[in-house]
Every structure is written in C-alpha cells, then in structure tokens.
Amino acid sequence: MQGNPINLLLVDPSDREACQVVVSLAQSPVAQFDLTRIKDLKAVRRHVETSRTDIVLLDLPAQEGREMLAVLQTAAPSIPIVVLTDRGDEAAALEAVREGAQDYFDKSKVNADTLAHGLHYAIERKRAEEALQRSQAFYHSLVESLPQSIFRKDLDGRFTFGNGRFCAEMNKTPNEIVGNTDFDFFPKELAEKYRADDQRVIESGKLFDVVEKHITPAGDTLYVQVIKSPVYSTSRELIGTQGIFWDVTEKYRAEEELRRVNADLAFKEAELLKTLSALKDSHEDLIQAQLHLIQAEKMESVGRLAAGVAHEVKNPLAIISMGLEYLDENCQIGKNENDVFRAMSEAVARADSIIRGLVDFSADRRLDVASHSLNAMIQRALLLVKHELTSGHVTTDIDLSPDLPQIRLDPTKIQQVFVNLFMNAIHAMSTGGVLRVRTRLKPIHGDEAPGITDRFKPGQPAVVTEVDDTGSGIPPEKLAKVWDPFFTTKGTGHGTGLGLTVTRKIVELHGGAIAISNRLEGGARVTLLLHPDREISP
C-alpha cells in the first residue's frame, strides 16, 4: 500500500510493553504506521484534538474501553476506533462495535498483517460511512427543505414516504401516512381520481403534470401543480410512483383573473366593434337619408318647375297636334309623308305623356274616396290598356276573388295605379307574354312589403293584389331603386321614371303598401296591399 503514513494512536494505560503485534506493525508491508502510545487516559482527548490521528486502537479493559469510546466519539467522531480484546472477551468486543467501534481483534489470534489490513479497512470504512452520511444528509435536506410536498407510493397506492411538508399538509405524522392510501385521507371521489392518475403514470411510464383542484383535509380549496412520475428500483423494475406538488392557488387565481379580464376585454372589444359598426351603419344611413332629403327636395322643386312648364308646353303641343291633324287630312301625301306624320304624332303623344307624368308627380295629393270594388277598378284599368295588350302580344290571366270586401278608395287614382302597373308589365314583356292579375283577401305576415308593419298588423286581413309579368325581371341591384323618381328601366322616350313613384305615393295615401320582387319562375311581381273597408282621411 502506498501513501502517507497512518497516524495510529494506541490507547494502552498498562505499564507493560505494548502488545507485540502492535509493535510489529512498524514492519508491516500493508501500510506505514506512525505509532503514538498514550497511557494517560485523560490525555487522549487532548491528543486527538490537537494532533492528526487517523485511527485509534483501544487496548483497554471492557469498562474503560466503553468509556473511552464515548469520549472519543464526542471529541472526534470522524476518527475510526478499533478495539483489541483479550482471549474470550468476544461479548465485550461486539458491544464496543455496537457502540460505534469499527472493528475488534483478538490479541491472541491476530498477526501484524491482519491487524494492518483491519486498521486500514477500518479507516476506509469510516470514510465511506461518513460520505454516505453526508450524502444522506444532503438528500434529506434537499427533500425536506424544498417548499414542495413530496411523496412516494408503492404499486398498490400505499404511501411509502412523505416529506415534512407533505405530512404537514396532510396534518399527519409520517407514521400515520406510510402504509395508508389516498382512500384513508380523501373523499372517495377524489381518492379515485388520484388513484387513476397514479395508474396512468404506472401504465404509461410517463410524467403526469397538471394543475388541479385540491381539497385539503381541513376542507380548504387549493390549486396545486402536481407532477407525478414512475419510480424504478436499482434493477430498473417499476416499484411505484412519486409525486411532488405545490400550491399555485395564487398564481392560478391570478391567471384565472387574467383570463377573465382577457375574455372581458375581448367581449368589450367585440362590443366596441359592434358599436363602431352600428355607428358606421347609422352614419351611412344618415348620409343616405341626407341624400334622399336632397333628392326629395330636388324632386319637389323639379315637380313645381315641371308643373309650371307643363302649362306652357301644352299650348305648343296642342298647336302641333292640331296642325298635324289638319295637314294629315288636307295633303296629298305618299308613304314617307305618312311616316313623318305618324312619327310627329307619336312624338307629341310622348311629350304629352311626359308632361302629364311631371304634373302628376307634383300634383296635389288629395283623395276623393268612396266605397268601391277593387275588382271593378282592375277591370276598368285593363280596358284602358287593351290596345297596348293587343299590340304588345300580351295575353291576360285574370283571377279576381269574388269575395273581396269593398274598399274605401279614390277610383281615379287607384285606376291610375293599375294602369301604371299594367303598362309597366306590358313594357317589361317586349316580345309578348302573360299579364297575370290576382286578388285575394288574406292575413298579413309582415314581410310582404318594406314598412308594411307600420300600416298593417301581422295577422290583420288585407286585400292583396298581385300583378305578375313574364318578362326578364328586374336586376337585383335595381330592385330598391324602382321607387325613386326618374328611375326607369325603359329606354329613352319610353318612360318618365315617375310612374312607380306616383303609384307608391297613391297607394301610401290610401294607407296601403306596395312591393316589387322577382318571381322564381321569372318575371317580376308587384304586390299591392290595401285595407278592406277602412276610412281613409282625405
């Protein structure tokens, strides 16, 4: 063996020579020993405290040996102690080992080499023990000083360990915990959940990491971060689970509050966006209303202007018209002249119709109401457009309910409404088609026409007239505009764009409603709703 000499302290108070085997250690090839002998037992303590001592060899009677052992363990607990015994004193030697001696040797049996080896191993063993103690203390302090609760369970869910904090959390001593299961401490439902979590860890061999609600035995609700992992033996055999958990209630509540605040914020943001959108819409509406107002004012002044101009225009129209009539019958004319007269007559008629439209548009809107049959009005209007029906190759499909009640209406105005609607329908069928007119008394749904609920209560009966054509319908983007003054789908010279505006005005003056839509089967439908037997104030 190599290295520094071993400082060996021999405690031997006898007056005789030191034991021969000890003396012969000096020649041992096992190790180099530097021997110091102390006879005065009182000096031993001072020696170990002041001089380097690697090992102490006690050669004392049993009683003194025990006392010295105690003194040395107090004064220098890290110095290994070996006891020399006399023949047959085995019991005393074992007692000494129990009380902390590393080893014992029988003086009568041991030789120098054996003793040298024994002493050397005693030193090493003592060092290993101390290292183990330090390591244990390290891990113990680690487990016990952490602010987390730590436990271990076997495969059956029985606790095998719980650190101080865990015990405190459970309000139990380690002994009360070890050997018991979650079912001994928690309500059945919770214990089953913990058991299921453990099973998951056991079966998957993976970490289980979750924040969960934890009810303490005292009944407090906490939120804990739990990490469970499998526990393996040194032979890599699964022997149980271990868990570590700590209170994250404060953090959890803060996060929860944050989530709540975030959700609240998101909600408020959505509300804000909604409000913003509503604001934008109402701003749009306002602009629209403003535009309408401007348009309406413009129309009104146009109307007034038109009425004034109309009178002035009618005289020249009358002169031209009569002039044409005169020439037509007094001239020798050929085909060309005939065409010219026809074109001029038609132009006069058209100009006249535009003038009428303008005057109509601006005309006084007083009604002259009396009780009338709506069906009769429709029949009369059909007669008025008979020529247009024939020349436009439009056939009629008339289905007028015989059970209609009388309606309080202005016959001239309502007739004008139907003439307008029929003329529009005929014009919409440029290559011919079918004009279908249907009247019914039926309850209102509320979605028949815009603003209908202002004038009719849902469920209230109304006289409903449908005027359908088989034309090409109205482009969807133009549907809303058809009621605007001077809007027309007809070519230049074929409409004033005032017909439907005037029509709607008349219907609304009667307290009715009117809507236009495209039919699924093609063509347009005008739905006209009037109140049965109702006083209309003029």
Partner 1 sequence: MTSKKRILVIDDEPDMTLMVRLNLEKTGRFEVREENNAVNAYQAARDFKPDVILLDVMMPDMDGGEVLFELKKDPTLKKVPVIFITATVLQEEVGAKGGTIAGHPFIPKPFKMSNLLIMIEDALKVATEGPAK
In angstroms, the first-to-last Cα distance of the chain is: 134
Instruction: Decide if 441 contacts 399 (C-beta within 8 A).
Output: no
User: Considering the complex, what minimum distance in angstroms separates the CB of residue 306 from partner 1?
Assistant: 13
Q: Which is nearer to partner 1, 106 or 328 (CB)?
A: 328
User: Considering the complex, what minimum distance in angstroms separates the CB of residue 303 from partner 1?
Assistant: 14
What is the DSSP secondary-structure string of 128-149?
HHHHHHHHHHHHHHHHHHSSSE
User: Considering the complex, what minimum distance in angstroms separates the CB of residue 377 from partner 1?
Assistant: 13
Hunting for tokens 């110091």 — which residue is that?
Answer: 36
User: Considering the complex, what minimum distance in angstroms separates the CB of residue 411 from partner 1?
Assistant: 9
Q: Which is nearer to partner 1, 317 or 333 (CB)?
A: 317
Report helix, strand or coil for 182.
helix
User: Considering the complex, what minimum distance in angstroms separates the CB of residue 375 from partner 1?
Assistant: 19
494's tokens: 């074929």
Q: What are phi and psi of 165, to 5 degrees?
A: -70, -40
User: Considering the complex, what minimum distance in angstroms separates the CB of residue 285 from partner 1?
Assistant: 37
Residue 474's closest CA among 507, 516, 412? Answer: 516
Return the H-helix or E-strand segment holding 58.
strand 55-58
Q: Which is nearer to partner 1, 362 or 439 (CB)?
A: 362
Q: Which is nearer to partner 1, 360 or 448 (CB)?
A: 360
In the Cβ-directed half-sphere of 408, how many Cα atoms lie within 13 Å?
13
Residue 66's closest CA among 104, 16, 101, 14? Answer: 101
Q: Which is nearer to partner 1, 116 or 310 (CB)?
A: 310
452's tokens: 């209908």
Q: Which is nearer to partner 1, 96 or 348 (CB)?
A: 348
Which stretches of the chain bind partner 1, using CB under 8 A?
310-312, 314-315, 317-323, 325-326, 329-330, 348, 352, 356, 359-360, 363, 368, 412, 416
Instruction: Decide if 75 contacts 50 (C-beta within 8 A).
Output: no
Q: Which is nearer to partner 1, 136 or 412 (CB)?
A: 412
User: Considering the complex, what minimum distance in angstroms separates the CB of residue 328 from partner 1?
Assistant: 10
Q: According to DSSP H, which parts of 363-410 are helical?
A: 374-384, 386-391
135's tokens: 């390591």
